[in-house]
Amino acid sequence: QKEVEQNSGPLSVPEGAIASLNCTYSDRVSQSFFWYRQYSGKSPELIMSIYSNGDKEDGRFTAQLNKASQYVSLLIRDSQPSDSATYLCAVRNSGGYQKVTFGTGTKLQVIP
């Protein structure tokens, strides 16, 4: 079992719709969770971080964390073509050296 699992996609949504990206993780005592956006040929850009159960909203983005079920999700409201990118889920484990494990990413395509 991979430590952090994401559906590779592509996930296609029409412009203006809600995009829902999901991620599951295996380490029950993981402590922090992150979503990064990566445009083709560019570096990962941190867009959301969350550490407690529930929802965290920032503009059009909402991160949702459910530690009991070991999943974290990212909702993008009013999706725009500029949101088309690969979204990486990352999890900080309980290891003493701040280890962060990244998923392989979900490619999102927003269709105009």
* 8 A C-beta contact, residue 25 and residue 91: yes
Question: Which residue, 45 or 55, is less far from another protein as judged by CB?
Answer: 45
Residue from 65, 74, 88, 108 touching another protein (CB under 8 A): that is: 88
Counting Cα atoms < 13 Å in the Cβ hemisphere of 50 gives 23
Q: Exposed/middle/buried for 7, CB within 10 Å: 0-12, 13-18, 19+?
A: middle
Binding mask 26-65 for another protein (x = CB under 8 A): ------x-x-x-----xxxxx--x-x--------------
At 43, which amino acid appears?
S
Check residue 103 for interaction with another protein (CB under 8 A): yes
Q: Which residues bind another protein (CB under 8 A)?
A: 32, 34, 36, 42-46, 49, 51, 88, 90, 92, 97-100, 102-105
